[in-house]
Amino acid sequence: MDIRNIKTFVRVAELKSFTKAANELSFVQSTVTMQIKQLEKELGYPLFDRIGKRVSLTYLGERFLSYSYELLDVLGRASELDMDNEDIGGVLRIGVSESLLFGVIADILPDFKKRYKNLDIRIKTGHTPELIEELKQNGLDMVYVSTNFNTDPDLKCCYVRREKLVFLCSKEHKMAKRKKVPVKEIMEEEFLVTEREGICYGRLRELAAHNDTTFSPRIELDSVYVISNLVEKGAGIAFLPEHSVSDMLKEGTLKIIDVDTTTQVYYSQIFMHKGRWIAPFMSGFIEAIENLRKAD
């Protein structure tokens, strides 16, 4: 059984298209079709249902896909047994929430790239739902996002950490030294908020509803980095992941507001597709994040 045919089968299955697989693998489509036919002949059963332009796995094709991932995993591990990190090549496509990009990834990236000198790294920021959908469509290899616990059966969680959301103001703000500020009072302040689809905005709406008040932000921005800098300059207050502003808190340019409510938590998580082979550099990336966050 030709391993090249199995790799082609996996790409067709993931992309749900012979044409897209051919383009990605730099083959003509007839080559992809021939490889799949050879594989089906060897196995003795069809791998795909082809209805018009739509391609979907048969029941046996789905089962063979899981075996294909296992086979590629074993072969990948075997081929890299005697290979130094700096000799490992390839491409790592990462989707990441902006707060985690500045709060975590930026700190680990220099050393990680030194370990894997021949690895190409492509990082895309975006909203969590969009990044997860792109992961499921195989446009990304992994995503590192801020969200609630995952219940999607197509995703595999490779790392999870409990995080805190905090109310923030500048060191000169009237709320900086207050104790037990009521939720109703804090909701009357000038807020700078992240996108409406994000966990911070949603949690603020929930807090307002639970405390019988309303929440009407005046300024909405996509960038946690910009928000934290505007808050530092006195443009308003914010509600952000604590890790995303850890440096500013240590420096004292931002202050956590003591709000009279329960600790607001969520989870940062790394997801991959459930059938994805975890290459050594992917494991190394996760390990680098774990080591950094242990020191927090």
E-assigned strands of 102-195?
Answer: 119-125, 142-147, 155-170, 191-193
The CATH number of the domain holding residue 17 is 1.10.10.10
Sequence-distant (6+) residues with CB within 8 A of 102 are 224, 225, 244
In a shared domain, residues 39 and 122: no
Count of structural domains within the chain: 3
In a shared domain, residues 57 and 202: no
Q: Which residues pair with 181 in a beta bridge?
A: 259
In a shared domain, residues 134 and 212: no
How does pLDDT run along the chain (296 residues), one tens digit per residue? 888 888 899 888 888 888 888 888 888 989 999 999 999 999 999 999 887 777 889 989 888 888 888 787 777 666 655 555 555 557 789 999 888 988 899 999 999 988 888 888 999 998 888 899 888 877 888 999 988 776 778 788 999 999 999 999 999 999 999 999 999 999 999 999 987 777 888 899 999 999 999 887 778 888 888 999 999 999 999 999 998 898 899 999 999 999 999 999 988 999 988 767 777 788 889 999 999 988 76
E-assigned strands of 114-263?
Answer: 119-125, 142-147, 155-170, 191-193, 219-220, 237-241, 254-256
In a shared domain, residues 168 and 262: yes
Q: Which residues pair with 50 in a beta bridge?
A: 55
Domain boundary among 49, 79, 109: 79
Q: Which of 41, 38, 40, 9 is nearest to 22 (CA)?
A: 9
Domain boundary among 29, 45, 79: 79
Report CA-CA distances (Å) from 161 to 145, 266, 267. 11, 8, 5
In a shared domain, residues 290 and 261: no
In a shared domain, residues 138 and 193: no
DSSP line for 37-48:
HHHHHHHTS--E
Q: What is the pTM of this model?
A: 0.69
In a shared domain, residues 257 and 180: yes
Cβ–Cβ < 8 Å for 95, 126: yes
In a shared domain, residues 151 and 21: no
In a shared domain, residues 65 and 105: no
H or E segment at 172?
A: none
Domain boundary among 43, 59, 79: 79
Cα-to-chain-centroid distance, residue 65: 24
The CATH number of the domain holding residue 246 is 3.40.190.290
Q: Which domain holds residue 73?
A: 3-79
Distance CA 3, CA 9 (A): 10
In a shared domain, residues 196 and 259: yes
Q: pLDDT, tens digit, for every residue of 68-114?
A: 887 877 776 666 555 555 555 577 899 998 889 888 999 999 999 88
The CATH number of the domain holding residue 100 is 3.40.190.10
